[in-house]
Structure 1
Amino acid sequence: MADTLTAPKRPTRGVITLPCHLDWSGHAEYDLGRPARMSSMYKAVLIEAGSVDDLCTWLNGELLLRL
């Protein structure tokens, strides 16, 4: 799975909105240019992911290691 987290399609910048099944808090919009929000987004995905596809869709391996 580590190889799939390095694929270029993973979001690494900009503002993204997680789907409801990953963030149902009402604050699902994340500005990846803000380190605290990026960290919060990665935490939400790691906690709420229901499948490997969720992890591979939303997480970037390099950013995950940095965080």
Structure 2
Amino acid sequence: MKPSLTPGTRAQKSAFADPLAELLRPGQSTELLKELHILTRDGKLNQDSRRKLKQVYHLCHFIEPLLDEV
């Protein structure tokens, strides 16, 4: 049986994890994301931008196979 996480351990785990590292792909330019106003000037990702980035990833998921055919 899996050990359950208490709210305190969840908070500790997320406090040490880098939320940006979970969303950004390897080699992705943070400077470009700042210029596109997806990241804030100080490199943070707000909730609206997080949703926008997920939409972009979803769109790329469908477009990449089509671009590979061309």
Q: TM-score range by the shorter chain?
A: 0.3 to 0.5
Question: Which structure's relative contact order is higher, taking Cα pairs within 8 Å and 6+ residues apart?
Answer: 1
| Largest Rg, 1 or 2 | 2
> Which has more helix, going by share of residues?
2
TM-score, length basis structure 2: 0.33
> Which has more strand, going by share of residues?
1
TM-score, length basis structure 1: 0.34
